[in-house]
Amino acid sequence: MPYAVPCGAQAGDAPAREDPWRVVLIRNWDAMYPINVTRETALRAALMDNPERVVEIYPEEIDSLRFGEAVDEEMVSLLRRKYKDMSVDLVIASGREPLLFAARHRAELWPGVPIVFNGVTEGELAGWKRPERTTGVTMIFDVEGTLALGAALVPSARAVYFVSGASDFDRFYLDMATRQARRFGRLEVRFIAGATQAETLARVAAIGPDAFVVYLTMLRDATGQIAAPGLGTLPRVVSASRVPVLASIHTQLGRGALAGSFARVDEHGRIAGLLARSVLEGADPDAIAVKADPQPVCQVDWNGLYRWAIPERNVPKACSIINRPPSLWETYFWPMVALIAIIVLQAVLISSLVIEIRRRRIAEDQSRERGAELARVARLSTVGALTASIAHEINQPMGAILSNAEAAEMMLDQGTLETATLREILADIRTEDLRASEVIQRLRKLLGERESTPVAMDVNREVAEALRHLAFDAARRGVMLTPVFSSEVPAILGDPVQVQQVIINLVVNAMDAVGQEPERQREVWIETRAVAGGAQAIVADRGPGLAPQDEARLFHSNFTSKKDGMGFGLSIVRTITEMHGGSVGHEPNVPHGSIFRVTFPAVGT
């Protein structure tokens, strides 16, 4: 024993080995052709997938391409020598020639041993009688399906070029393809067959548009050169061709061909493997019908679509697309997720900012509109309060002007108009006209539409200005306005005209309140004073005062105790005051009457 074995384990004591399943596998041509490699790999995998016994495979090769049956005799004698004392359980024949060889020599080599074949093209066995204990699967070559697929992918195609070689198999296959093309019928069939490789390539390169190529097989060219595995002519035909090149054999796809309809070679091998397995396990091969398996499938190579600029929408729905570059999603799932998350977050952030900005702008617009609306209502309210006063102030000079002019006219008619009198009259007219326009200008400042810009202002000055508007009205009502201004009043920030409007509304209210009082009591006090953090204006009267139940509703719009009042005044007063950050309050005067206090914050508080 050349090496030590664990105690108790003697080499001679090894348990009797169960006989393996011995399988002779006869290959055809060069075993390294892709179709052979793919098929046999799948076959072995299926055959040896967890079998009941060890499966021992004895590979044999028949190079029918080069030698045909010429060396059969020597081959048989060699095999007889090899398998003389050996019990073989199964012969697998991969291809037409191996099947024929096995059937021919089974009696002398492996008598009674079942044969399972595969890799035989459907139609290749035409006229052949199945021997006993023999079964297998054949391969469908679906050239017709490939033509239909080509017509779909290249809708403008009117012709198809079959590219084929010079071997027997090439010719057999071309013959079958031609029959199928005739059955398909929609395309003119042209042939580039049996030529040398160089000539084949040259002719392929010369193919005009509105056609496509179906590459069949080219095991051997006109010079007799046999194509080596993996260095086939297909890639060269593809690179030479300006029109799409389709394949009719599964393993040709992925080597440059655009598409094809064919039985999958690996699947075919797997089916054959399973079949062999069941025969090994005791199935009766004669009971298993020979059939073509699997059914062809349609496959399209994405690279081909790209190479010949064929839109993906031309691909029939039933076809699968191989070699499609993985999408960004497939390649970079997590980075993409992260990227998208970032983009989404960013979008959310940006849109929320945009929405925020828009909201703010809308709010600003609304606030500006509200401001404008307030200014309008405040104007209306002030106009209402000043109606009588305005009419008087304007109509007084207008009346004087009219009368003066008409007096002059009358005197002129009577011939009594003297130059000196005329001069006096004209001077009076001018004076009155100026008086009227002054009033109008003053009113326009108070009531005109304008942009409201907050400025620092002196409350005393604005109250005095408000009282100027009211002086005439007050005099005519017989109301005495008594201002008491404090020099300590701080400046406030706001719209001077609106502050004037507040004072006017309050004073007009007060004048209305004392309107029915005896003349001595028709007095309104207007006082300014400094209070903590601001300026205060006080308007007080000794009118009848408010009923207690009215006090609560005092500053609501539409509240009015006057017959012809709209009830805007105090509501406006409060709104304007609050917009200036101030407040307005009311308290009863003693012994009767009202006191209104309007407080505005000082500038900078």
Partner 1 sequence: MSAAAAVVAGIVHVVDDDIAFQTAIARVLVAAGHKPRLYASAQEYLGADDSEGPACVLLDLRMPGPSGLELQGALARRDNAHPVIFISGHGDIPSTVRAMRDGAVDFLTKPVPTATLLATIGRALTQDLQRQQWLVRVSDLRQRYAALTPRERQVMAGVIGGRLNKQICYTLHAAERTVKTHRARVMEKMQVRSVAELVRLAEELEAAGTRLTAMPEE
Question: What does the binding site for partner 1 look like in residue numbers (CB under 8 A)?
Answer: 387-388, 391-404, 406-411, 413-414, 416, 421, 425, 428, 431-432, 435, 475-478, 519, 564
CA distance linking residue 383 with residue 504, whole number of Å: 10
Strands, sheet with 259-262, edge to edge from the N-terminal-most edge strand: 259-262, 297-301, 320-322
**Cross-strand partners of 455:** 494
CB nearer partner 1, residue 274 or residue 411: 411
CB 413 to partner 1: min, Å: 6
CB 424 to partner 1: min, Å: 9
CB nearer partner 1, residue 170 or residue 432: 432
DSSP states along 354-410 = HHHHHHHHHHHHHHHHHHHHHHHHHHHHHHHHHHHHHHHHHHHHHHHHHHHHHHHHH
Cα–Cα distance list, 425 to 399, 408, 590 (Å): 13, 7, 51
CB 395 to partner 1: min, Å: 4
Look up residue 328 and give its two tokens.
Answer: 């960004």
CB nearer partner 1, residue 77 or residue 387: 387
CB 509 to partner 1: min, Å: 17
CB nearer partner 1, residue 72 or residue 428: 428
Look up residue 587 and give its two tokens.
Answer: 């308290």
CB nearer partner 1, residue 327 or residue 421: 421
CB 475 to partner 1: min, Å: 5
Contact 552, 559 (CB under 8 A): no
CB 360 to partner 1: min, Å: 47
CB nearer partner 1, residue 400 or residue 538: 400
CA distance linking residue 201 with residue 194, whole number of Å: 12
CB nearer partner 1, residue 364 or residue 519: 519
CB 495 to partner 1: min, Å: 29
CB 591 to partner 1: min, Å: 25
DSSP-derived 3-state class of residue 594: strand
CB nearer partner 1, residue 228 or residue 412: 412
Task: For the chain, give percent helix, strand, coil, nearest 5.
Answer: 50, 20, 35
Which one, of 45, 5, 33, lies nearest residue 266 by Cα?
A: 45
Contact 503, 539 (CB under 8 A): yes
